[in-house]
Structure 1
């Protein structure tokens, strides 16, 4: 079994030997030496700048496609690493972050709202309240990698929208 904290050079080569590995590790952002999930969430903000220009229906379609792509990529990468959910696999952070920022398609998106969406997603992702923790413990493979962060992102998006409505 692989060390969940650090990739060996051989594991890094296996991970980066396929397009699935590159996607799963967030185009390299998951290879940060520490706080891989945070680096993945930060990296997700760059493509979000383009995604937010899409219509809501295209944004949701892009999210669905990114989720399905992540299930496949994280499944392939997890098998290559011989672990279900290694911390270097951060495509789930990309999708979760994009879900958390979904309300900003309808709301003004000043920097503090983007920062709030980022922080809320990271809190839900780390804290893992029900049902996020349950999904994290019970689903395996690529679907397991992706599902808990998708729910964390959705819950963060709901809280962000509620906060915006109150403010």
Structure 2
């Protein structure tokens, strides 16, 4: 059953860093806050992708990454954690990047979601190495962006195999 996690006392919900870091509260949902954050990014991605296309979605990914470095850093300091699980802006920036690179279809975006979550949860090298190497907001954000690149490359690889076999 889903439940909500309380915010750090020094950072109220409506503080811009708390809203951004938790993606308007999605990161407060338990269990699996990263999955909730990724799912809650989809309505924005659908609207942005439909209205502006992949380049605008790529811009949104970069904007979420840049703002996320600040918001994640502030939130994690307030929570006194290196990588607070409530922070899901990293998943948002990363899934925007994945979706910008993949075909704007239900199948493409569904595959992108599962591939990204797979690499974000598993964290193979060098994803885990980046997570350990960098601290603060940048450290919170960068491992998810690398997981996004793994998801994109995996999609291209699997799509190529599919085209060869069919």
Q: TM-score normalised by the shorter chain: which range applies? A: 0.7 to 0.9
Q: Paired residues, what number? A: 158
Q: How does 1:50-129 map to 2 (within 5 A)?
A: 50-53=47-50, 54-104=52-102, 107-109=103-105, 111-129=106-124
Q: State the TM-score, normalizing by the size of structure 2.
A: 0.86
Measured at CA, do residues 124 and 52 of structure 1 come closer, stay the same or move farther in structure 2, by a change above 3 Å? same
Over the aligned positions, Cα root-mean-square deviation in angstroms equals: 1.9
Counterpart of 1:3 in structure 2 is none
Q: How does 1:6-21 map to 2 (within 5 A)?
A: 7=5, 9=6, 11=8, 14-21=11-18
- Is the CA contact 1:25–1:90 (under 8 Å) kept in the aligned structure 2? yes
- Partner Cα separation in structure 1 for residue 135 and residue 71 of structure 2: 13
Does 1:148 find its partner at 2:143?
yes
Counterpart of 2:155 in structure 1 is 160
What are structure 2's unaligned runs of at least 5 residues? none
Instruction: Indicate the structure whose relative CO is greater, using CA pairs within 8 Å and at least 6 residues apart.
Output: 1
- Partner Cα separation in structure 1 for residue 7 and residue 69 of structure 2: 23
* Structure 1 stretches of 4+ moved >6 Å: none
Q: State the TM-score, normalizing by the size of structure 1.
A: 0.85
Measure how far apart 1:108 and its partner are.
5.0
Measure how far apart 1:143 and its partner are.
0.2
Counterpart of 1:24 in structure 2 is 21
Counterpart of 1:33 in structure 2 is 30
